[in-house]
C-alpha cells in the first residue's frame, strides 16, 4: 500500500534535513578540532624552540614526539602501527612514505621508533616559527628549483645526516595526493640510497585521506594505520637498478593504501601485529 501523500512528503524531506544537520555538525567539529590542535601546537612550540636552543635535539626527542602525538590526537585521529617481521628498527634508513595531508609528518614522528628527520621543501623553511623549528631540528631542505648547485647541497646534507645516524622520512610523490591513491615516485631518493648504501623502509599511511585531504579543511574522526614494511638493503647498482628499486618500494607502499580503497595490489610484505599510539 502506498503511503498517504502528506506522510510521503514528510519522509522525503527529512533526508536533506538530516544531511544538513550532519554537515553542520562536521563543520563545527572541524573548527573545534583545528582550534584545539592549533592552540596546542603554537603554545607548545615556543617551549620546544627554547629547549632546542640549549639542548641537542637528539636529547630532546621525547618532548618532540609528545608534541606530534598530541597534535594528531587533538585533531581527532587515532593512530595504530603495524610492523612487518622484516622491519629493522635499529638500522638508519630512508623511510619512504605516501603523502596525504599536513598531519603526515606528525603521524610518522609519533610512531617511527627511531630518531628521524625529513627531507622537506625549502619553501617550508620560510614559514614563521615552523620553518625555524624544522631548520633547528635538522630537517634537510629540498630545493624548489632544481639547480645543480642546490641539488649538490641537498645531496651533501642528506649524506651528512645519514652518516650521523639520522634516519630520514621522504615523500617521493613530491606532493600530497588529491585522489587518495599513491602517485608515481620520483627516483632521486632511490639513487641516493644506492649511492650511500642506505637501507629503505617502505611506509604506508592508511586512513589519512578519510581524516583530511588536500582539497578540504574537514577533519573526520578516523583511525590512521601506519604500516612499517620490510627494511630493504641497497648499495651500488645502475640507474636501471634504481628504477627497479623505486617500483618495488612503490608496490609495497601502495599495497595497503589501494587495498583499503577496494583495489587489489601486490605487496612486498605483509606486516603483522598492532600497536596503538
H/E stretch holding 220 reads none
* Cα 55 to Cα 43: distance, rounded to the nearest angstrom: 19
Q: What is the pLDDT of residues 186-242, one digit of tens each?
A: 998 999 999 999 999 999 999 999 999 999 999 999 999 999 999 999 977 777 789
Please state, rounded to an integer, the average pLDDT across all residues of the chain. 84
**Which cell is 207 given?**
586512513
User: Residue 38 — pLDDT band, cuts 50, 70, 90?
Assistant: very high
- pLDDT at res. 80: 97
**Which of 8-22, 168-182, 211-225, 245-259 shows the lowest mean pLDDT across its residues?**
8-22
CB 198 within 8 A of CB 165: no
Q: Which residues pair with 227 in a beta bridge?
A: 82, 204
pLDDT at 18 over 60: no
pLDDT at 25 over 80: yes
User: Residue 272 — pLDDT band, cuts 50, 70, 90?
Assistant: very low
pLDDT at 17 over 60: no
* Cα 178 to Cα 191: distance, rounded to the nearest angstrom: 27
* Cα 34 to Cα 37: distance, rounded to the nearest angstrom: 5
pTM score, two decimals? Answer: 0.84
pLDDT at 106 over 90: yes
Amino acid at each position: 500500500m502506498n503511503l498517504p501523500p502528506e506522510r510521503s512528503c514528510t519522509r522525503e524531506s527529512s533526508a536533506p534535513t538530516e544531511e544538513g544537520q550532519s554537515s553542520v555538525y562536521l563543520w563545527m567539529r572541524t573548527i573545534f578540532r583545528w582550534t584545539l590542535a592549533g592552540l596546542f601546537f603554537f603554545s607548545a612550540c615556543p617551549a620546544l624552540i627554547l629547549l632546542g636552543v640549549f639542548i641537542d635535539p637528539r636529547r630532546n626527542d621525547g618532548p618532540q614526539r609528545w608534541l606530534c602525538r598530541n597534535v594528531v590526537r587533538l585533531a581527532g585521529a587515532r593512530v595504530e602501527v603495524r610492523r612487518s617481521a622484516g622491519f629493522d628498527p635499529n638500522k638508519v634508513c630512508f623511510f619512504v612514505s605516501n603523502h596525504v595531508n599536513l598531519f603526515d609528518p606528525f603521524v610518522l614522528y609519533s610512531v617511527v621508533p627511531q630518531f628521524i628527520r625529513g627531507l622537506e621543501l625549502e619553501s617550508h623553511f620560510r614559514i614563521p616559527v615552523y620553518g625555524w623549528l624544522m631548520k633547528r631540528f635538522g630537517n634537510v631542505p629540498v630545493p624548489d628549483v632544481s639547480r645543480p648547485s642546490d641539488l649538490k647541497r641537498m645531496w651533501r646534507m642528506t649524506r651528512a645526516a645519514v652518516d650521523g645516524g639520522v634516519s630520514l622520512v621522504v615523500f617521493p610523490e613530491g606532493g600530497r595526493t588529491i585522489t587518495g591513491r599513491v602517485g608515481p615516485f620520483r627516483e632521486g631518493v632511490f639513487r641516493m640510497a644506492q649511492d650511500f648504501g642506505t637501507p629503505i623502509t617502505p611506509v604506508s599511511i592508511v586512513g589519512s585521506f578519510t581524516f583530511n585531504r588536500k582539497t578540504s579543511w574537514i577533519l573526520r574522526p578516523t583511525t590512521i594505520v601506519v604500516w612499517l614494511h620490510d627494511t630493504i638493503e641497497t648499495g651500488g647498482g645502475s640507474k636501471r637498478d634504481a628504477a627497479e628499486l623505486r617500483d618495488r618500494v612503490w608496490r609495497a607502499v601502495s599495497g595497503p593504501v589501494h587495498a583499503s580503497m577496494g583495489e587489489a595490489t601486490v605487496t612486498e610484505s605483509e606486516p603483522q601485529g598492532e600497536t596503538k599510539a
